[in-house]
Structure 1
Amino acid sequence: MCAVVDENFRELERELGLFLRRAHAASAAVARGVHPDLEPAAYELLALIAATPVVRASDLAAHIGVGRGTMSRQLSRLAELGFVARRPDPEDFRGQLLSLTDVGRERLESAQASRRGYLHTALADWSPEEIVDLSRQLARLNGALTQARQQSAAGAPVPRAV
């Protein structure tokens, strides 16, 4: 039984690795569609800011799991490109509230439409139920990975497969 479980996790690791490499390449292409100098991680920041307007940089850094320095550099580049507006946080004089500019929103929406078109093509032979199921399972996986990362950061032992 243990060997079967180990092989299942090896296969999962291989498939996730391939998926992540392909997703990174696709994100790089989508980011270049927004702006030729945009990094893939910066594209994801635009999407997060759009989903949570007037968000703090520190909250974004915590959500993504990067340091404030990394976040500051990426946000500075987005501001230089005219995609992100910053304003002081009235509740925290050290903080800044972020929102997309009109140009940032237009570029992001165009890139997202392109990405959705790609997914429509790639999943053309999938049923709507299969797509919903995949979305649910990915959400479940993301939740489990977030919980494991939080437990690990808190020093809690991470359970091992038996």
Structure 2
Amino acid sequence: MQLSEELTRLFTLLTRVTSEHERGAVLARPDFLVLARLGRSGWLRPGDLAQLEGLDQSTLSRRIAGLAERGLVERQSDPGDRRAHLLRLTEAGLAAFEAEQARRVRLVTDAVTQWPAPELAELVRLLHELNESLQQRIAQ
């Protein structure tokens, strides 16, 4: 099926073009994903973050330690359970996330700057419809 092949190709190309090994990434992809989740969720326990990101606790602990060393994530004791702690983005973490997100968006939008306006508008319309369809599936 052509749609399946083109979507697979698109996902592969998006991963390659936004790779942290190319074009001056501010954050490695795994760090970007963790910061994105914290940005959407606010304070989270490490275990909850690991579950949401599909990571084992030890992998996430090393990643969080690195992000905290860089001043991108802060830890605070959980007021409901002093044995546990919560994580959230710092201002520097939010700035790094936003810079990397903007870089990734630019990489894709720069690829279509030469497209005729009607074709670009059609792409936007179709992507919106795809996003809405996927969002409905998640809500079910």
TM-score, length-scaled by structure 2: 0.72
The two structures, once aligned, show a CA RMSD in angstroms of: 3.0
Q: Cα 1:120–1:39, aligned 2, differ >3 Å: closer, same or farther? A: closer
2:12 aligned partner? 21
Matches within 5 A, 1:92-111: 92-111=81-100
What SS class does the counterpart of residue 86 from structure 2 fall into? strand
Q: Deviations over 1:56-111 (max 9, x none)?
A: 22222222222212211211111122111111212233432111122222222222
One-letter amino acid of the counterpart of residue 84, structure 1: V
One-letter amino acid of the counterpart of residue 101, structure 1: T
One-letter amino acid of the counterpart of residue 137, structure 1: L
Number of aligned pairs? 133
The runs of 5 or more residues in structure 2 that have no matched partner are: none
2: CA distance, partners of 1:40 / 1:31: 13
2: CA distance, partners of 1:54 / 1:31: 31
1: CA distance, partners of 2:36 / 2:134: 20
Using the aligned pairs only, state the percent identity: 29
Matches within 5 A, 1:28-43: 28-29=20-21, 33-34=25-26, 38-43=27-32
* 2:135 pairs with 1:137: no
TM-score, length-scaled by structure 1: 0.64
The runs of 5 or more residues in structure 1 that have no matched partner are: 1-7, 148-162
Poorly superposed stretches of 4+, deviation over 6 Å: none
2: CA distance, partners of 1:139 / 1:44: 22
1:82 aligned partner? 71
Q: Cα 1:70–1:123, aligned 2, differ >3 Å: closer, same or farther? A: same
One-letter amino acid of the counterpart of residue 41, structure 2: T
Cα displacement (A) at 1:31 = 9.4
Cα displacement (A) at 1:11 = 5.8
